[in-house]
A and B are shown apart, each in its own frame.
Chain A
Amino acid sequence: METSQQIVKAGDVNIEAVQITTAQGVYQDITNQVMAIQIFEDMFSPFTSGTLEIRDSLDLLNVFPLNGEEFLHLKISTPTLDKGNIDHKFYIFKMSNRVMAGDRSTVYTLHFISVEALTDLNTKISKTFSGKCSDIIRQILDDKTQGLNVTKPYVIEETKNATKYISNFWPPVKNINNIIESSINTNNQSSYVFYENRVGFNFVSLDSLYDTNIFQTFVYDVYVRDKPTDTLKTTRNVTEDYKRIREITIPTEFDYIERLRGGMFGSKMYTHDLSSKRIALNGYNMLDNFASQKHLNKFPLASNKVSYSYDELLMTVPKYHNNFSDFGDSTNANSIQNRTSLMAQINGNKLEIVVPGRFDYTVGLRVEMKLYKIEPNSKTDNVIVDGMLSGTYLISAINHYVSRTMHECTFELMKESLAIDLDRKI
């Protein structure tokens, strides 16, 4: 397929290589057979995955044959962007939706996933991990026999606390998810997530993601027109086009009951220690902690008049001092309430947008949304931005959809705070 070095319009893409290699080492470039490629990234999923829509006129099914033992080399890029490419090896694990399209071709979908997912499925660890949470994560990512054996780059945010636990023949990712539950960052927040994005693997807290620069601003304005650039060579302004939201959907604007049940506003935790027979009660309040935490926007999701009580979520955690030799309590009692509230907050405001695709978009980036009000609130109202929906969001999931001619991204965006003060005087 021809590749372009220039962006003519927002959403341009170069499919440079789509190559399948069998376990026997036979390989075939199938770029010309590809109808569409989808790549999925999710901040709450450990691995990148995707699908290939194939219109097969080479009878690849019998040539290889394809049976779930093949690797896929995918090289796709956005023209002119230095960091705008995907050049990864994936594992093809499934074929579905096979349809005979006439005598000489067949259409089907190939599902692929990062090769590390294969390692995860085939590795079971039985050992005790002890030490700083971030060091254990590093150990699991690096270990060739008792870990993921990751060769891609990874980012690990240092944790403040240590833990000790036994892995009961758990796969590496289950170990990581277990550690996440008790990891606390240097700002005393327990909001760690583990995910793979375009760059590599990430073990970071939401706190640190909130603290990054805004990568892109998206505008939802159907009246935007193309503006000439300075050189007047074209009337299409590609940079502005990339900012335009093609579609926007808001599945749930808010759900008070869900927030309450999820422990967002507050919670109560009873702990009882098996050894010392000590019973303790601890309360957690979102609004009390808001000022000491980092946030995407300035104001909390709830006003100080919100109706809730600590009893909205009642937890019972059995602590066990000296569960392991030379270690105190190794449960997640110190982090569970904070984490429960923070995770409920980030799930508190979600929306989905479709924008022109670029391969430098990846999950974990901070973006700004500008949406306008339907109409001014009053004659003196000169604020045109919708304060509830606008603001800073995190990209929590991406679906890169690449056809032979264009690239489109569907984002799931999340925010845990508002740009508007709910306690302001109206």
Chain B
Amino acid sequence: MFYTGCVENRLDPLKLGRCQVRILGLHTEDKVLLPTIDLPWAYPLGSINSASISGIGWSPTGVVQGTWVLVIFMDECKQQPIMIGTLGGIPQTKAAMAISDASGGDLVTTNDDGELSTALGNVITDLIDNIANGEPKGVPQETAEKYHINAITVELSTGSSTVYQVINNDTNVVTSNVSFNENTKSYDATLINPEQYEASQYTPFNGTTKQFAEKTDILTYFDKNF
């Protein structure tokens, strides 16, 4: 059986071109329940023309974060995914996917229609209030420019647990898990991928969990520090 997934991390510690892929129908979109770091590493299936050993052959590193891939599994329990190909498209409904796309180090730009888009040409839609208001796609020109100049903070899910992603003007993305701590009656925010940032850019958290009294404080904090 084939599955479809979205690449969320391509920084394979084994340098084999593996990616952490969130597979639709198997893995929840809630990044608090299932952070990217907990996803299994999916192998890229090399072409039969490629030796794929001892450094010989084609590098299986074409995908970026946000790329949709077709996946099969080596085992019955679906723990060992294999990426067998990529799937093109024009993302319009999933903010998470679009933001993931942008987070791979690809430049966020404003296109000719005034829409925020990635270097791959994918329009970033459903940002902030656009989902709630039911607007089909795009963000206003001034908003896009503002976001491009300054950092944008995007809330990807709501409720007691939330994931925030921040894209700053260098197109770096800071991702944070946020959950309400019943004991301290505060919101705990933990950065997921701090290793992507240099210490000078990234002093506020330093890999530790930070507490906020209100959710809005998190947004303020991100806007101020990134």
Chain B residues within an 8 Å CB radius of A126: 26-28, 30, 33-34
B199 located at the interface, meaning its Cβ lies under 8 Å from any Cβ of chain A in the complex: no
When distances are taken between beta carbons in the complex, the residues of chain B under 8 Å from A146 are 33
Q: A297-331 toward B: CB 8 Å interface, digit per residue (1/0)?
A: 00000000000000000000010101111000011
Would you call B40 and A324 a contact (CB within 8 A)?
yes
Does B129 interact with chain A (Cβ within 8 Å)?
no
Q: Which residues of A contact B79 (CB under 8 A)?
A: 165-166, 320, 323, 330-331
**What B residues does A165 contact at CB under 8 A?**
77, 79
Interface check B48, CB cutoff 8 A: no
Are A323 and B16 touching (Cβ within 8 A)?
no
Give the docked Cα–Cα distance between A146 and B30 (Å).
Answer: 13
B56 on interface, CB distance cutoff 8 Å:
no
The answer to whether A168 touches B78 (Cβ under 8 A) is yes
Within 8 A of B (CB), among A402-418: none
Is there contact, CB below 8 Å, between B34 and A128? yes
B142 on the interface (CB 8 Å rule)? Answer: no
The reply to whether the CB of B39 lies closer than 8 angstroms to some CB of chain A is yes
**Which residue of chain B lies nearest to A324 when distances are taken between CB atoms in the complex?**
B40
Picked from B14, B33, B74, the residue with its CB within 8 Å of the CB of A322 is B14
- In the bound complex, how far is the Cα of B28 from the Cα of A409, in angstroms? 45
Shortest CB-to-CB span from B192 to chain A, Å, is 12
In this assembly, does B37 line the interface, its C-beta being within 8 Å of a C-beta of chain A?
yes
**Cβ contact within 8 Å between B26 and A127:** no
CB < 8 Å neighbour of B14 from A275, A318, A324, A330: A275
Distance A126 CA – B39 CA, assembled complex (angstroms): 11
Contact between A324 and B38 (Cβ–Cβ < 8 Å)?
yes
Instruction: Indicate whether A44 reaches chain B with its CB closer than 8 angstroms.
Output: no
What residues of B have a CB within 8 angstroms of the CB of A178 in the complex?
77
A127 touches B38 (CB 8 A): yes
**Interface flag for A169 (CB, 8 Å):** yes
User: Is A274 close to B, CB under 8 A?
Assistant: yes
A127 partner residues in chain B, CB cutoff 8 A: 28, 33-34, 38
Tell me whether chain B's interface is mostly helix, strand or loop, or mixed: loop
- The verdict on B88 contacting chain A, using a C-beta distance below 8 Å, is no
Most chain B beta-carbon neighbours within 10 Å: one of A166, A320, A322, A331: A166
Instruction: Output the residue of A146, A168, A275, A331 with the most chain B CB within 10 A.
Output: A168
| A330–B38 alpha-carbon span in the complex (Å) | 13
Which chain B residue shows the least CB distance to A146?
A: B33
Cα–Cα, bound, A178→B75 (Å): 13
B43 touches A166 (CB 8 A): no
User: What is the bound-complex CA distance between A320 and B41, given in angstroms?
Assistant: 10
Determine whether the beta carbon of B41 is less than 8 Å from that of A325.
Answer: yes
CA distance A122 to B33 in the complex (A): 18
Q: Which residue of B lies closest to A129 (CB)?
A: B38
Q: How large is the interface on B (under 10, 10 to 19, 20 to 34, 35 or more residues)?
A: 20 to 34
State whether A318 and B74 are in contact (beta carbons under 8 Å apart), knowing that A275-B16, A325-B13 are contacts in the complex: yes
**Complex CA distance for A126 and B33, rounded to whole angstroms:** 7
Contacts of B34 in A (CB 8 A): 126-128, 166
* B89 in contact (CB, < 8 A): no
CB distance from A279 to the nearest CB of B (A): 14
Q: Do B26 and A169 have beta carbons less than 8 Å apart?
A: yes
Which of A128, A169, A178 is most buried by chain B, counting CB atoms within 10 A of its CB?
A: A128
Asked if B27 contacts A168 (CB within 8 A), the reply is: yes
User: Of all chain A residues, which has the CB nearest B81?
Assistant: A323
> Quick check: A128 and B75 within 8 Å, CB to CB?
no
B134 within 8 A of A: no
Query: Which chain B residues numbered 66 to 103 have a C-beta less than 8 Å away from chain A?
Result: 74-75, 77-80
Interface 1/0s, chain A 271-313, versus B by CB < 8 A? 0001101000000000000000000000000000000000000
B55 at the interface (CB under 8 A from A): no
Known: A126-B33, A128-B34, A178-B77. A166 touches B27 (CB 8 A): yes
A176-205 CB contacts (< 8 Å) to partner B: 178
Indicate if the CB atoms of B40 and A166 lie closer than 8 Å.
Answer: yes
Distance in angstroms from B151 CB to nearest chain A CB is 27
User: Can you name the residue of chain A whose Cβ is closest to the Cβ of B80?
Assistant: A320
A122 → B minimal CB distance (Å): 16
- Is B62 in the interface zone, CB < 8 Å from A? no
Complex: chain A residue closest to B30, CB-CB: A126
A166 & B74 in contact (Cβ 8 Å cutoff): no
Specify which of A128, A277, A322 is in contact with B38 (CB 8 Å cutoff): A128
B80 proximity list for chain A (CB < 8 A) = 274, 318, 320, 323
Residues of chain B contacted by A166 (CB below 8 angstroms) = 26-27, 34, 38-40, 78-79
Closest to B27 in A: A126
A35 to chain B, nearest CB (A): 44
Q: How far is the CA of A296 from the CA of B166 in the complex (A)?
A: 61
How many Å lie between the Cα of A130 and that of B37 in the bound state? 12
CA gap between A1 and B195 in the complex, in Å: 71
Residues of A near B13 (CB, < 8 A) are: 322, 325
Chain A residues, CB < 8 A from B41: 322-325
User: Is the CB–CB distance between A274 and B38 below 8 Å?
Assistant: no
Q: Please, how many angstroms separate the alpha-carbon atoms of A67 and B11 in the complex?
A: 54
Q: A275–B80 Cα gap in the complex (Å)?
A: 11
In the bound complex, residues from chain A placing their C-beta under 8 Å from that of B37 are: 325
16 pairs across A/B with beta carbons < 8 Å?
Answer: A127-B34, A128-B39, A165-B77, A165-B79, A166-B38, A166-B39, A168-B27, A168-B78, A169-B28, A275-B16, A318-B75, A320-B79, A322-B14, A323-B79, A325-B13, A331-B75
Q: A126-B30, A320-B74 are in contact. List 11 more A-B contacts (CB 8 A).
A: A126-B26, A128-B34, A128-B39, A130-B38, A166-B40, A168-B27, A320-B80, A322-B41, A323-B41, A331-B75, A331-B79
